[in-house]
Amino acid sequence: MTRMLVTGGAGFIGSNFVHYTVRHHPEYEVRVLDALTYAGDQTSLAPVADQVEFVHGDICDAPLVDELIAGADLVVHFAAESHVDNSLHNPEPFVRSNLIGTYTLLEAVRKHGARFHHISTDEVFGDLPLDGTEQFTEERAYDPSSPYSATKAGSDMLVRAWARSYGVAATVSNCANNYGPFQHVEKFIPRQVTNVLRGTTPKLYGKGENVREWTHVDDHNAAVHLILSQGKIGETYLIGSGDERSNKQIMRLILELMGQAPDAFEHVADRPGHDLRYSNDSTKIRTQLGWRPRYGDFRAGLAATIDWYRENAWWWGPQKDATEARYQALGR
């Protein structure tokens, strides 16, 4: 069996990746490393707890990382601080986790010769005009606009440098916004859904005109597995469903699916430097690796996600009060 180490495997995308791997790829022996910061939750792995090994630890802990990677054939690196608002309030954890943590992993991978895949974001490219059809491509220059995206851009560059300078067998993927089960309630879709479930008015930044491309987390993780099995070492792949919607459109669809009036939300102060639009040209992964999103119908995927949050208040309930307190302190 191939020994796989998944960093950040108790977070949103990482835990779903572990679930997906256990369901569809029994050829992997999975070990998870997660620091269990506020955005990581070991209960997200409860359905597969007897099929994976969990290690509570920090990717900046060099001796621990070295020990774990010495026993791994493959590292899939999800671990990151990832919320823009939090990065604007306090950038330090983002610099530490996203830059120092990635460096620590790369040094261990270089020493032990493991294969490395780095999960990144399309936010490293900055943003696009609202009224255009332009898309991000793998060749686009980086132009990050928040401490979060700047540190993710830096981590991408570290991976590429270690691949070129030291021959590390690495690939990179940059994905559009994800949605689905086990996403922390600080994020846009689960925050609005859980507000409605609690009888609280949902919140929309500014005018809600900012546009995002939404990809179901299972589609993202299917793409990652294609890169692991068929991707070319040293290459970068953009992942995106092609479904673009404004935040206001998403808000109204959530309200419709939950039986609320379309205007049953309130506007709050916009995020500083709020990116206008993201859109990935995923031609490369579609043509070279044959990836296609299974959740082509965003409405159906969103409805299933709402049902998951409705049925799993035990999971998100403990996060909710602290999250809303942080937003209240930020005036959002």
Structure tokens at 49: 């707890």
- Catalytic residue, chosen from 34, 58, 122, 186, is 122
Q: Is 122 a catalytic residue?
A: yes
- Catalytic residue, chosen from 148, 179, 205, 237, is 148
Q: Find residue 74's DSSP bridge partners.
A: 4, 115
Sequence-distant (6+) residues with CB within 8 A of 88 are 146, 147, 271, 272, 273
Q: How far apart are CA 153 and CA 149, in angstroms?
A: 6
Q: Is 92 a catalytic residue?
A: no
Q: Is 179 a catalytic residue?
A: no
- Catalytic residue, chosen from 34, 81, 123, 156, is 123
The residues that are catalytic are: 122-123, 148
